[in-house]
């Protein structure tokens, strides 16, 4: 199953925006500048970061996002900290599990999420076919 970047973004938007705390009752993004949402502002980098990793350890995917997405995000400080991340105001970070889940649907990856952010050991089944 191959999906284009645009298709993947639509899939992720459908999964994330509807549960995002920034979403208004009218169904739109409540951010003052919706285009500033790091998840979608940096979506090509997010998708490529995830696609660049083939590992049994989902933490490798988290690391890839930190390295390839956060490093180029204007919200990250030179010391690697991020106030938006600390305040749970970054949709990419706050909904990372759902983002990964959406990527799974698109690529066929299946992770054991129990170790996400905690310890190694997730299983990955089926080679992704997403090439961005
Ligand atoms: S902040 Fe991002 S994830 Fe949340 S509703 Fe807005 S565009 Fe969607
Ligand atoms: S966690 Fe911070 S640095 Fe990383 S994408 Fe989100 S806002 Fe940007």
Per-residue pLDDT of the chain (132 residues; tens, 9 = 90+): 567 889 999 999 999 999 999 999 999 999 999 999 999 999 999 989 888 877 767 788 789 999 999 999 999 999 999 999 999 999 999 998 788 778 777 777 666 666 554 443 333 434 344 445
Closest to 50 (Cα-Cα) out of 8, 100, 115, 125: 100
**Residue 120 covered by a domain:** no
**Residue 121 covered by a domain:** no
**Residue 25 covered by a domain:** yes
**Residue 14 covered by a domain:** yes
CB 99 within 8 A of CB 20: no
CB 91 within 8 A of CB 42: no
**Residue 122 covered by a domain:** no
Mutate to test the pocket of ligand 1, among 39, 43, 75, 85 (most ligand atoms within 8 A of CB): 39
Which domain range does residue 76 map to? 5-115
Helix axis angle, 58-68 to 96-107, nearest 10°? 110
In the chain, how many domains are there? 1
CB 1 within 8 A of CB 129: yes
pTM of the model: 0.80
């Amino acid at each position: 199953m191959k999906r284009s970047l645009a298709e993947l973004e639509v899939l992720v938007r459908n999964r994330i925006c509807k549960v995002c705390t920034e979403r208004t009752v009218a169904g739109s993004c409540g951010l003052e500048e919706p285009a500033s949402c790091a998840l979608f502002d940096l979506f090509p980098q997010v998708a490529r970061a995830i696609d660049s990793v083939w590992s049994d350890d989902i933490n490798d995917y988290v690391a890839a996002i930190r390295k390839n997405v956060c490093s180029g995000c204007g919200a990250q400080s030179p010391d690697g900290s991020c106030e938006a991340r600390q305040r749970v105001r970054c949709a990419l970070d706050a909904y990372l599990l759902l983002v990964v889940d959406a990527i799974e649907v698109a690529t066929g990856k299946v992770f054991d999420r129990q170790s996400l952010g905690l310890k190694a050991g997730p299983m990955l089944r089926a080679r992704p076919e997403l090439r961005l």
